[in-house]
Amino acid sequence: MTPSTLYVCTTCRSSADAAPSADRPRAGERLLMAARERATVDADPETRIVGVECLSNCSRGCTVAVAAPGKWTYVIGNLDGEQHAGDILAFARQHSAHETGVTVWRERPEHIRKNTIARVPPMNFQESS
Ligand code: FES
């Protein structure tokens, strides 16, 4: 098993957000905090969670990417800062457990199934003939 990394865009805003403040950070930052809290509660030491600035999916944020060496990378959007931490962690665990990262579609959380923006092949991917 190659552990996967969950990258969370910290600069995404939600349409309901006014200007961010110290006591109300951006939706992406809230999603990152929620994912880290959820991973702690779930006692999940395997999933690496990393905050990043902008994954170029700004109009459909919040946005995350799940990646690992040698595996397909997934970009997932339309995430809510408060509601989807469990879904993205569940998908990251599925991705970690799968040899290529192409997890079984029907086993993915529903929001992940419906809001996958892109999947990108691993480096050195060989076209099948
Ligand atoms: S600000 Fe989050 S994808 Fe651009």
Give this prediction's pTM: 0.93
Contacts of 1 (CB under 8 A, 6+ apart): 96, 97
**CB-based contact 52:9 (threshold 8 Å):** yes
Q: What is the pLDDT of residue 107?
A: 97
Question: How is 55-123 classified by DSSP, letter by letter?
Answer: -S-GGG-S-EEEE-TTS-EEEE-S--TTT-HHHHHHHHHHHHHSSSS---GGGS-HHHHH-EEEEEPPT
> What band does 129 get if pLDDT is binned at 50, 70 and 90?
low
**Architecture of the domain made up of 5-120:** 3-Layer(aba) Sandwich (3.40)
Mean pLDDT of 62-75: 97
**Quick one: average pLDDT of 6-12?**
97
Instruction: Return the pLDDT at 75.
Output: 98
Ligand 1: distance of its center to the CA of 28 in Å? 8
How close is the Cα of 10 to the center of ligand 1, in Å? 7
In this prediction, what percent of the chain has a pLDDT beyond 70?
Answer: 94
| Residue 94 Cβ contacting ligand 1 at under 6 Å | no
